[in-house]
Amino acid sequence: MDSLSSKNVHSLGIQARKDVADIGPLPGTGKAVYELVTRKYADPAEFDEKAADLLEQQLDRGYITEAVYASLFMLSLYPGHKILEITQRLLQENAVTSHAKFIAIAGAVRDRDHQLLKILLDQYEADSDLPAITRLLKGVVKDHLLKRHRGVAKTFHQIISTFENRFPAQKGYN
């Protein structure tokens, strides 16, 4: 094992072939989502803008499945106004209602509405969005701590701790 860990292994981004398309017809067939989420951003609004642009490119090419999966994943990382708006529109246009709870939770996080978030999380019953919701909630506390919003972070942490206690298998999930 030590010999493997000492090898100079390149990141997936470096290993990816240069001739792979930025976007593809199915999730994971393009490299743009990977490149988008692995970059460092000085301002979350920049991520929101670039994510929205990528989603629009996917939709312009008719890659609806890739756009749906990418939008839900990006929303779990950062519920920006543009990402949330496009995701809502995309799901409505395609009559997808299975992610309504996740969208509502992401909206409450985006709006910093801790009272609504508490209500939504108290009413939440586990579904396929549980890992995405968990990823979103973990990011919320980190984001507020990084911005030195300790009071907001503490409030969100209390709400999220109650949620994590209801779904203990998700505690170690990132």
Tokens 């309504």 correspond to: 100
Query: Is residue 14 scored above 90 in pLDDT?
Result: no
Q: In terms of Cα–Cα distance, which of 114, 101, 124 is closest to 170? A: 124
The structure tokens listed for 159 are: 């709400």
Q: Which alpha helices (DSSP H) does the chain contain, by range?
A: 2-5, 12-15, 32-38, 44-60, 64-77, 81-93, 100-110, 114-123, 130-146, 150-166
Report the distance separating Cα 22 and Cα 55, nearest Å.
12
Tokens 């709400």 correspond to: 159
Q: What percentage of residues in the chain have a pLDDT greater than 90? A: 47
Tens digits of residue pLDDT in 17-38? 455 567 766 566 678 888 898 8
Q: In terms of Cα–Cα distance, which of 75, 93, 92 is closest to 84? A: 75
Average pLDDT, integer, range 45-53: 94
Contacts with 88 (C-beta within 8 Å, 6 or more apart), sequence order: 103
Report the distance separating Cα 75 and Cα 48, nearest Å.
9
The structure tokens listed for 94 are: 């395609």
In angstroms, how far is the first alpha carbon of the chain from the final one? 24
The predicted pLDDT at position 85 comes to 96
The predicted pLDDT at position 19 comes to 52
Mean pLDDT lowest for which of 102-106, 107-111, 115-119, 158-162?
Answer: 158-162
The structure tokens listed for 111 are: 């709006």
Give yes or no for a contact between 67 and 58, defined as CB atoms under 8 angstroms apart.
Answer: yes
Report residue 16's pLDDT band, with 50, 70 and 90 as the boundaries. Answer: very low
Tally of CB atoms within 10 A around 107: 18
Average pLDDT, integer, range 61-67: 89
Tens digits of residue pLDDT in 135-146? 999 887 666 545
Give yes or no for a contact between 105 and 120, defined as CB atoms under 8 angstroms apart.
Answer: yes
